[in-house]
A and B are shown apart, each in its own frame.
Chain A
Amino acid sequence: MLQRTSSVDRIKVDGFAFSSIFQIGDSTIINGLNRALAVQRERELFFGREGNFRNYPIYSIPIPLPQLTEPLTFQSHPLNPIIKVNNIQVIAFSSSSVLHVGNSKHINMEARIKHIRQLLPKTDQAPD
């Protein structure tokens, strides 16, 4: 398959966190996985070593993907084989996200997040 060349003049990113990737150039396979257990408590109280992914099915249930049911023929005609971008400015990349300049073959990204909120009983709340 004929592919295009990516040309970016200027990139400014302040930060990459938690297994994020900045890839310049072609790649073949990218597999990204992000699992997070987000706990918010009304009062600032956190116990050490808590949270177990195995207790929540959200981290293990299979995600069904639509299957290709008919044969596909793909043909691309790169009349102008350049993708031109002048300027990219991003504050931050986080949680297995990717900034990719260049071509790739197969990309598979997955995110599983469970969000738990814990509030104080109404009677315990201090009057405003």
Chain B
Amino acid sequence: MNFQVYNRDIGVGNIRIIGVSSSSILMVGDVQTIQLSSVFDTPAESLIIGPFVPLAPEVR
């Protein structure tokens, strides 16, 4: 593939954002390669109805 880009005038007035989170990026500039990946797991098994049991403890 032959990929050619002509960067002409670009001017932005206002950028208003409430929040940026979870390995997201707000960028003003050029970048050669960018890879963003996200895994979010909230399956049916993660809805636990019953007495509150602590999760397995952290180990050091």
Query: Which residues of A are at the interface with B, using a C-beta cutoff of 8 A?
Result: 1, 3-4, 6, 8, 20, 26, 30, 32-34, 36-37, 39, 41, 43, 45, 47, 49-52, 54-56, 58, 61, 63, 65, 70-122
Query: Which residues of chain B come closer than 8 Å to A70, judged between CB atoms?
Result: 1
Identify the closest chain A residue to B38 (Cβ): A111
The SS class assigned to the A binding surface is strand
Q: Within B28-43, which residues are at the interface with A (CB < 8 Å)?
A: 28-42
**Contact string, B23-59, partner A, CB cutoff 8 A, digits 1/0?**
1111111111111111111100011111110111111
Instruction: Pick from A41, A49, A101, A111: contact of B52, CB below 8 A.
Output: A41
Contact in complex: B29, A107 (CB < 8 Å): no
